Chain A
Amino acid sequence: MKIRVFVSLKDGVLDPQGKAVEHALHSLGFEGAADVRISRVVDLQVKADNAEEAKVKGAEMARALLANEVIEDFHVEVAG
């Protein structure tokens, strides 16, 4: 089953990369761009009988490696 793990910096954790992209957007004329945050998406296949089991496996992988919970939040979606 295909799942997608979204990993993003926790609220309040500074995202220098997002800030730099925001500045670049401003210099391209997108003056309204604000609060730019860069996240990571990990697509993968897992062996699971149902969507719930697939999500649980994705969450286990996120806690073990894909996300660093000191600075990042994650959520898992079943991609179909």
Chain B
Amino acid sequence: MKTGIVVFPGTNRERDMAQAFRVVSGKAPRMLWHQQDNVDGLDLIVLPGGFSFGDYLRSGAMAAHSPIMQAVRRFAEKGGYVLGVCNGFQILTEAQMLPGALLRNAGMRFLSQDCHLKVEGRDSIFTSGWKHGDVFRAPMAHGDGNYTAAPDMLDRLEGEGRVAFRYCTAEGHVKDSDEHVNMNGSARSIAGVLSENRRVCGLMPHPENLTEEILGGTDGLPLFTGIMEALG
């Protein structure tokens, strides 16, 4: 498996992401600077977290129109796999490679804490490391994570099994209107979604930050082992 990680000015989670892939594959991903437009030979492109372009205008808006994103779009159109975490998820929605948008957190506060996620996505390499309905812990750190989309799009995402992850309690209960569970106020507690062909995935929390015991646990590891098993 050949992985590329895109680095924009203001990206700050690229090393965490690279380390997570190194843990499962033993190989260091290739770093891709935002001004290049060559992504040849890659199986997976990852857009990591951070504050690309200082979150100017809207989170992810400037990055979505950078040269590398034209290449990432072509890569995805040809069936390439793309994962966006946190700011990467915001960039994918701004680039309209995933539906919906991420608004300011409902409580206005930047949230830096653990959350629990329920695995709901079907037929995707991004959820295949877990069983359907599994619950895992993941750190989150964002100000704009309040997922929204038109009601008919939300229905469609749910109907097609494209809600990859949902915020829930440690016991797996989803509570849309409980600010201690659905902390950023996301529509239908959605934390992550899949594209129509299920090869593009975006999520707000950071599974890459729980992939080794020294980090406090390996709860996020199945994201990476699932991808690794699928892509070899």
Contact = CB atoms under 8 A, between A and B. Distances in A.
Interface of A: 13-14, 16-17, 19-20, 64-66, 68, 70-71
Nearest to B106: A16
Contacts of A20: 108
Contacts of A64: 65
B108 A16 contact: yes
Contacts of A71: 101, 103, 148
Contact of A13 (B103, B105, B107): B103
Classify the interface of chain B: helix, strand, loop or mixed. Answer: loop
- The majority secondary structure among interface residues of chain A is helix
A70 B108 contact: no
Interface of B: 57-58, 61, 65, 93-94, 99-101, 103-108, 146, 148-150, 185
A66 B105 CA distance: 21
A13 B61 contact: no
Nearest to B96: A70
27 contacts: A13-B148, A14-B106, A14-B146, A14-B148, A14-B185, A16-B103, A16-B104, A16-B106, A16-B107, A16-B185, A17-B104, A19-B108, A64-B65, A65-B57, A65-B61, A65-B65, A66-B57, A68-B61, A68-B94, A68-B101, A70-B99, A70-B100, A70-B101, A70-B148, A70-B149, A71-B101, A71-B148
Given A16-B106, A16-B108, 17 more contacts: A13-B103, A13-B148, A14-B106, A14-B146, A14-B148, A14-B185, A16-B103, A16-B146, A16-B185, A20-B108, A65-B57, A65-B61, A68-B101, A70-B93, A70-B99, A70-B148, A71-B103
Contacts of B100: 70
B58 A68 contact: yes
A44 to B, nearest CB: 13
Contacts of B107: 16
B99 to A, nearest CB: 8
Given A68-B101, A71-B101, A17 B108 contact: yes
Contacts of A66: 57
A20 B101 CA distance: 21
A14 B103 contact: yes
A80 to B, nearest CB: 25
A45 to B, nearest CB: 18
A14 B107 CA distance: 11
Contacts of B150: 70
B16 to A, nearest CB: 27
Nearest to A17: B104
A14 B101 CA distance: 12
A17 B103 CA distance: 10
